[in-house]
């Protein structure tokens, strides 16, 4: 499977895949940010691949790495019974990435969650609002520099008479 | 038997109004079951025939704050949920009481985290805290009995400084 996937992507967008790692039959590929949408479209629509299910979208905060964030898409092909992880590295100065809602509809809420927790800005997302936290919340709780007990006063409580 | 045995002659007893009101109030505490998470399961168990909260006159568990006297907050209260809990509490008529059931409501419990309120007494006046994760039904009944004891000691003058519009609200 690995060869077919890499060959299909590289044939249409040369140099898109920066790295591909296989660990215990789990393949993950790292894609350049600007090629993500195109690569996703190939993976989804190619008749031999048919990665038709997006199982999860999340991110990793590496805290001290130069490219601080990694956005991870976990996709699955029913036809081949094959899991694939697509990764994109992002620098903190520019956290925008193309939304894959146009390819996989299920990415909609996953991307909202990733935006809420890590502050990744998904371009062309149909409804990029806070997912768990209140709308007026200003921080991204799953970042490494966010304190465990939160920031005092950032989440308002009801008025307590007495 | 019972009350009749005391009414030996003409059917009169002498008592104070406070005592009668407190006695009737404490034996019909209608709970507002604010079941938010797993504690709610134990709260439901307290209503079943084995534990039988009806023995204490508190079987009227309806999700109807406007007819309730006691709010049992059973479960983890997040900052988002806190506003809902407070709004429901505000709809209950005075006088009213609150049981903080379980570790989460009392102190945040195991959720020492940015999203969980570390104790509902930050936004609600709590009367009884119940330990446990979740507390067993007996423990909830014990809390209810503590509330009854508190109500039994109340006097009319305890509520007289409450402005009328607040009682009506």
Give per-residue pLDDT as tens, B65-96.
999 999 999 989 999 999 999 999 999 988 89
What's the rounded Cα separation, in Å, for the pair B55 and B23?
15
**Residue B5 maps to a domain:** no
- List the structure tokens of A63: 């805290």
Question: Is residue B39 assigned to a domain?
Answer: yes
Report ipTM (2 d.p.). 0.76
- Residues of chain A in contact with residue B86, where contact means CB-CB under 8 angstroms, are 158
B69: domain CATH number? 3.40.50.12280
| pTM for this predicted structure | 0.80
Q: Does B67 reside within a domain?
A: yes
The answer to the question of residue B6 being in a domain is no
**Three-state secondary structure along A17-84?**
EEEEEEECCEEEEEECHHHHHHHHHHHHHCCCCCCCEEEEEEEEECCCCCCCEEEEEEEEECCCCEEE
Parent domain of B133: 34-154
| Alpha carbon distance B108, B100 (integer Å) | 11
| Inter-chain touch B122–A157, beta carbons under 8 Å | yes
Chain B residues with CB-CB distance to A158 below 8 A: 82-83, 86-87, 123
Mutate to test the interface with B, among A135, A149, A159 (most CBs of B within 10 A): A149
Provide the domain count of chain B.
Answer: 1
Cis bond before residue B95 (omega within 30° of 0): yes
Kindly tell me if the per-residue pLDDT of A162 is higher than 60. no
Q: Is residue B38 part of a domain?
A: yes
- Residues A4-56 pLDDT 10s: 888 888 888 888 888 899 998 889 999 998 889 999 999 999 888 899 999 99
SS3 B148: helix
Give chain A's domains with CATH numbers.
Answer: 2-94 (3.30.460.80)
In this predicted structure, which of A12-16, A69-73, A120-124 has the lowest mean pLDDT? A12-16
Confidence category of residue B1, pLDDT binned at 50, 70, 90? low
Is the residue at B14 inside a domain? no
């Amino acid at each position: 499977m690995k060869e077919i996937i890499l060959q299909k992507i590289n044939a249409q967008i040369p140099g898109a895949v920066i790295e591909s790692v296989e660990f215990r039959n789990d393949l993950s590929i790292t894609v350049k940010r600007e090629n993500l949408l195109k690569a996703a479209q190939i993976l989804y629509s190619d008749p031999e691949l048919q990665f038709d299910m997006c199982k999860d979208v999340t991110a990793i905060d590496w805290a001290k790495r130069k490219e601080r964030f990694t956005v991870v898409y976990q996709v699955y092909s029913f036809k081949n019974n094959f899991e694939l992880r697509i990764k994109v590295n992002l620098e903190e100065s520019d956290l925008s990435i193309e939304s894959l809602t146009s390819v996989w509809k299920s990415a909609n809420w996953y991307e909202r969650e990733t935006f809420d927790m890590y502050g990744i800005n998904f371009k062309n997302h149909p409804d990029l609002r806070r997912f768990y936290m209140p709308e007026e919340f200003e921080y991204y709780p799953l970042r490494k520099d966010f304190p465990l007990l939160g920031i005092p006063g950032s989440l308002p409580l009801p008025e307590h008479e007495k | 038997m019972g009350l009749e045995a005391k009414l030996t002659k003409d059917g009169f007893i002498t008592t104070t109004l406070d005592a009668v009101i407190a006695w009737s109030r404490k034996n019909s505490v209608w709970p507002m079951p604010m079941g938010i998470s797993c504690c709610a399961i134990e709260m439901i168990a307290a209503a079943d025939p084995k534990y039988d909260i009806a023995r204490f006159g508190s079987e009227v568990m309806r999700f109807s704050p406007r007819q309730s006297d006691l709010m049992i907050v059973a479960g983890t209260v997040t900052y988002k949920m806190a506003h809902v809990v407070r709004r429901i509490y505000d709809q209950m008529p005075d006088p009213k009481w609150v049981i903080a059931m379980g570790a989460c409501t009392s102190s945040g419990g195991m959720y020492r985290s940015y999203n969980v309120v570390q104790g509902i007494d930050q936004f609600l006046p709590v009367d009884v805290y119940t330990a446990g994760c979740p507390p067993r039904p007996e423990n909830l009944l014990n809390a209810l009995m503590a509330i009854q004891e508190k109500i039994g000691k109340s006097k009319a003058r305890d509520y007289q400084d409450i402005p009328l519009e607040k009682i009506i609200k």
